[in-house]
Amino acid sequence: MAFPLNDLGSALTGQIYQSILGGGDGKVAPDPNTFFTWCMPGLPFSESDLDFCGAGIFSAKDAETQNERLMHAYQLSALLDFVPDVGAAYTSDKQQGMYKPDAEKHLSEMYHQILKFSKVVDYPLTPEQQAKLDKFRGLLWEKKTVKDLITDEEKETVEPSAVMRAYTGALGKYNDAVIEYNTKRVAAAGATGPEGKAASADWALNQQNYYLKVKAAADEWTSAGYRNEVDQMNAYISQTTERSMIMWKQSLLERFQLALISTPEVAIPFPYTTLVPGNIATSGGWTRIGISHKTDNWSKESEATSWKAGGGVNFGLFRFDAKGGRDSSSYQENHQVSEFSMTFEMAQAVIVRAGFYPEFFANRGWMLRKGEGWTFDDLPSDGQQPPHGSFVGYATQAVFVRNVEIKSRDFVSAYRDTKSKVTAGGGVGWGPWCLNADYSHESHKENFTSTEDGETLNVDGMQIIGFVNHLLGKAPNPLEDIPEEQFA
């Protein structure tokens, strides 16, 4: 029996969605303020592209290595500097667009504009309140003086404190445990035939153990990751600054500037952005996921969100050029394949933006007035489902896959035919998976290639296939009892 490419792709993305966001059994419910954005196609990465995430930039042994890490930091920052669209996938033209001055909204610039032109409540704080705010900010973020290896010039930057590093590190472990729990449940729910017995038995016998791992990770996040303390400090900052936000807003603007760095090659400041864990390319927190054509019917019955987010995923084989343009091949979503199976490893990394403080959006002591600095057509977010606005949310996690293996004679034949039509510098993708492409790396190009033997297609490289995003809610959303004249 043959199956359309689109049905197979929908089954697979549905499995990934539930593995990451949860839902279905009431144990790990999906966050209603979270949505997923697929990449179209995946974004290739080499291990060296993320070297600065684990080793840092200024710890480099020499100027050459430091400059390489700076360029890698610039590339990752540019890639992640986007405002997600709830109604569309993160397509190849948008990926390339992040590097262009005329691109769609840059997250850092929109955040800066919102901070700069917001009107905030101007009630003075007591000395005790101000001292407590300063203490909490110092516990969450710390200023650090670094020396440039080339010029010996000292520069002050803002980095996550030890408390925040412990918080985000424990959060990453919790996310890994949740992914494993959801993946095992999804595999058991979609298991069919003799080969599905192991997944079903594994869930029946070990479900409680997997859940205990989630609980243990949550407990570790609380006990060693300062979960309650960080949440309480952020809550205090939010509650206190609802009355007086002038100094807080100024400090956020200063920290935004302190988080900007630049490279010798690109003399334009960019917001420092990194990933946790920094060693994701070599870490052990990867989960193996598999699907076959027999799980297709299950995916059609799986739960869906109340509104469609991150849509537009095309599951026909397509070709695209190095500049991000994409042309559909003759193998569209309804192309039939038989005896299809796919396996890969998946992991997710928390995105850390040193100069970005999203708690500002949850605060109810600020507003924007059109024409008074704010010249965009829309306010940040109307808070609806789905939301509408110029800044409805931001990416919190990047989802990586590697070691992709597809077993299907029909699929491999279609891929081979599509690849033969690709000119130099082009590539081939299927849904959110990049199967073959050239991509920019420093001052040269690197190949992201796959191998096939007529029945099996192997893609060994690492790539980002999507992002987990957080919705802001209504922003701005000032308290109704604050007089208009109190905003300055």
Cα distance between residue 29 and residue 246, in whole Å: 38
183-202: b or e for each residue (b if 16 or more CB lie within 10 Å)? Answer: bbbbbbbbbbeeebeebeeb
DSSP string, 458-480: EE-SEEEEEEEEEE--SBS---T
Q: What percent of the chain has pLDDT over 70?
A: 84
pLDDT in the model for residue 301 = 38
Q: What is the pLDDT of residues 249-286, one digit of tens each?
A: 988 999 999 999 888 887 788 999 999 999 998 888 89
Q: Which range (137-146, 219-228, 250-259, 305-314) has the least confidence?
A: 305-314
Model pLDDT, residue 308: 45
Taking only the tens place, the pLDDT of each residue in 333-365 is: 788 888 888 899 999 999 999 899 998 998 899
Residue 303 has pLDDT above 50, yes or no: no
Closest listed residue to residue 336, CA positions, set 363, 316, 357, 354? 316
Tens of pLDDT, residues 3-35: 788 888 887 887 788 788 776 565 666 677 888
User: Given this model, what pLDDT does residue 119 score?
Assistant: 94
470: nearest Cα among 396, 410, 411: 396
User: What is the average per-residue pLDDT within 478-488?
Assistant: 87
Question: With 60 as the cut, is the pLDDT of residue 442 above it?
Answer: no
Cα distance between residue 428 and residue 438, in whole Å: 10
Residue (of 9, 22, 2) closest to 299 by Cα position: 9
User: Among 128-142, 173-187, 240-254, where is mean pLDDT lowest?
Assistant: 240-254
Among residues 32, 26, 244, 235, the alpha carbon closest in space to that of 123 is found at 244
pLDDT, tens digit (0-9, with 9 covering 90-100), for 53-99 = 999 888 888 888 988 999 999 999 998 998 888 766 555 444 433 22
List, for residues 376-435, the tens digit of each pLDDT value. 889 999 988 788 899 999 999 999 999 999 998 988 988 888 888 776 657 888 888 888
Greatest C-alpha distance within the chain: 74
pLDDT at 163 over 70: yes
Quickly state the pLDDT bin for 160 (edges 50, 70, 90): confident
CB atoms < 10 A from the CB of 473, how many? 17
Give whole-number Cα distances, 295 to 188, 302, 448, 457, in Å.
Answer: 10, 11, 29, 20
| Better pLDDT: 145 or 116 | 116
Instruction: Give the Cα separation of 186 and 230 in Å (integer).
Output: 32
Element (H, E) at 345: strand 341-353
Output the CA–CA distances (angstroms, integers) from residue 46 to 58, 289, 308, 346, 446, in the order listed: 21, 21, 32, 15, 9
Q: Which amino acid is at 271?
A: P
Q: Which of 351, 264, 220 is nearest to 67 (CA)?
A: 264
Read off the DSSP letter of residue 387: -
pLDDT at 300 exceeding the cut of 50: no
Q: Which of 365, 469, 390 is nearest to 114 (CA)?
A: 390
Q: Is the dihedral of CA 117, 121, 125, 130 positive or negative?
A: negative
Provide the domain limits for residue 97: 2-486
C-alpha 195/C-alpha 478 separation (Å) is 56
Q: Quote the number of domains for the chain.
A: 1
Report how far apart, in Å, the C-alpha atoms of 352 and of each of 81, 223, 323 are: 12, 22, 28
Report residue 304's pLDDT band, with 50, 70 and 90 as the boundaries: very low
pLDDT at 298: 37
Decide if pLDDT at 445 tops 90: no
